[in-house]
Amino acid sequence: MTGSIDARRAALAARYPTWEPTTLDGFLDRRAAEFPDRPLVLTDDRTLTYAETVAWSRRLADGLAALGIRRGDRVGVLMANYLEFVPLKFAIARAGAVAIPFNFRYRRDELGYVLAQSRCNVLVTMTGFAGLDQPAMLDEIAPGWEQGATGALPDLHAVVLLSTDGRTRAGVRTLDDLAALGDEHPGAADGATAAPDDLGDILYTSGTTGSPKGVMVTHDAVLRTGYASALTRAFEDGRRILFSLPCYHMFGYVEGLLAAMVVGGAIVPRTAFTPADYVAGVERHRATEILCVPTMSVAILEHQHSRDLSSLFAVLSGAAPAPVWLWEKIRDQLGVTEMTTGYGMTECGGAMTMSLPEDPLERHSATVGRPKLAGVAGVPGSGDLCTYRTIDPLTGDDLPVGAEGELVSSGPTHMLGYWDKPDETAATLRGGRVHSGDLGRVRPDGYVQLTGRSKELYKSGGELVMPKEIEDLLTRHPGISQAYAVGVPDERWGEVGCVWVVPEPGSVVDPDALIALCKEKLARFKVPKHVLVLAADELPTTPTGKVQKFRLAQRAAERLG
């Protein structure tokens, strides 16, 4: 770490005196011109410099152009956090195409849905990962895919394989073959580059409330968000960020890769999370920051190790709130001095609010931060990345500062809409503002507090129930680690509350006692009728650690039905 937080922010602002919109490949080229020999990607096996990334991305872009990819076409990427993801991602932009980084844990039906819905033209996929066989899934989804377009996927005319397990498929190009094809057609992608305001990515939402939707974001939008992340977190020159959070999600992609590039830094991507690998990676690559979610932080703290973590001084923990005690342990056990948390949506461009590393620990727990500092990249005249306010979730009327309601936001990084879903776009993007579906309040100091999700509210006996009130009561009770309240069908009341609780290790939960506690502390209509117990590893979550409450509601209805 070099210099104070204020000094680092000032140096970063001086490096970017004006905001010059560019494309993703243009951004890479600018950084490579400044830092050609610096590492951009560090893995245990290889190091990739900025200049090498540019050269590799050019070869791959020419290869894509030789395959017939033109400006505006869609290239799917089904790849874990392998080193190859980075040059491929910038190659797609260089070819003028739209990148669709798919969730690499999709099963057959999920993969078939997003491939068809996105009208993907070329797919670059692993041959296997985490027990999944992607070519075998394609065999079931679209038999004959090796020869080109099929009846099931008429837009998919080519597949490229990254062999992650030694396998190949006859007649199907590998990623190395794609680069070699580019060597045979040098300059094939020249002139295809998109404009900064063109669609750059289609990112499928991870689905906390239902089927995934393809969020359309521009090149300029994600670059503004990445710059704002670096400014808010006060990056020093050359920051090194270690993470296992997937690059198909805004967390790894923007908060990791793009933010690091703002200061000529490097990423240390890991293909999966284990606490042992995280601490070993920090020591080996001298990482200065790690990205995680609270459950990962707890696992790292519980892991016994003798690694040298002296390079590590920053942690960004998102996706779910963390209590003060967890922040204290991160500080005291890991030696971390700069901690941040954040909140946002893919529809807004990723994390839109962030606590500041100089904030007191209580603020990291009680809030999800304030709109990111964005300087020249933010809302004109404010210096913030976006503007938040609350509205009445029923009437849509704006509410005064500090009033609880649905959080809505506007700013230069917000989505263009959902791919090929005009009705859903109209419901979420109204009047130039993204309607989050999250309930909260904007404090007078600008910090945002979350109180629940409007889509999670349920009515019991005609009364609206806010799950978070029940959850907060129960998680304060000894022996309860986590609690999730959902509505389940009931013949008499329409819906009643059901709470899933996760006990602390070694604790035994008495459901009747918890219902009695709710009767003592809550209005009658808020008292849940059912309490069900499960282990933390049984919680249905998205890849970034968010609990999928709609699946808990389905599970409860099945169990109680």
Tens-digit pLDDT profile for residues 178-206:
999 999 999 999 988 899 999 999 999 85
pLDDT of residue 322: 82
What distance lies between CA 514 and its chain's CA centroid? 34
Q: Span 198-215, mean pLDDT?
A: 81
Pairing of strands 289-292, 314-317: parallel
CA distance 94 to 113: 27
pLDDT beyond 50 at 4:
yes
pLDDT at 494 over 80: no
Q: Does residue 342 have a pLDDT over 80?
A: yes
Rounded Cα–Cα distance for residues 259 and 254 (Å): 6
Average of pLDDT values for 408-416? Answer: 97
* Confidence class for position 208, pLDDT limits 50, 70, 90: very low
Q: To 10 degrees, the CA torsion angle through 445, 448, 452, 453?
A: 130
Q: What is the mean pLDDT of residues 395-422?
A: 95
Report the share of the chain in percent with pLDDT over 90: 81
CA distance 276 to 176: 32
Q: Do 228 and 374 contact (CB within 8 A), yes or no?
A: yes
Report the pLDDT value the prediction gives residue 462, as an integer from 0 to 100.
63
Q: Can you tell me the distance from the alpha carbon of 64 to that of 27, in angstroms, rounded to the nearest whole number? A: 20
The pLDDT, as a whole number, for residue 304 is: 86
- Reading the block at residue 412, the tokens are 């230069």
Region of poorest pLDDT, from 92-106, 319-333, 435-449? 319-333
Residue pair 491/462 in contact by the 8 Å Cβ criterion: no
Alpha helices in 142-189 (DSSP H): 175-184
d(Cα 352, Cα 27) in Å, to the nearest integer?
21
pLDDT digits (tens, 9 = 90+) for 424-435: 999 999 999 999
What pLDDT is stored for residue 206 in this prediction?
A: 59
pLDDT at residue 210 above 60?
no
| Per-residue exposure over 362-398, b if at least 16 CB sit within 10 Å of its own CB, e if not | ebbbebbbbbbbbbebbbeeebbbbbbbbbebeeeee
Poorest-pLDDT segment among 19-23, 159-163, 524-528:
524-528
CA dihedral of 83, 279, 208, 514, whole degrees rounded to 10: 170
Query: pTM for the whole thing?
Result: 0.85
Question: Can you tell me the mean pLDDT for 92-113?
Answer: 93
**pLDDT exceeds 70 at position 461:** no
Q: In this structure, what are the phi and psi dihedrals at residue 96, rounded to the nearest 5 degrees? A: 80, 10
Instruction: For the chain, give the mean pLDDT.
Output: 93
213 has pLDDT over 70: yes
Closest CA to 158 of 78, 69, 72, 90: 69
For the segment 144-164, what is each residue's pLDDT rounded down to a tens digit?
A: 999 999 999 999 999 999 999
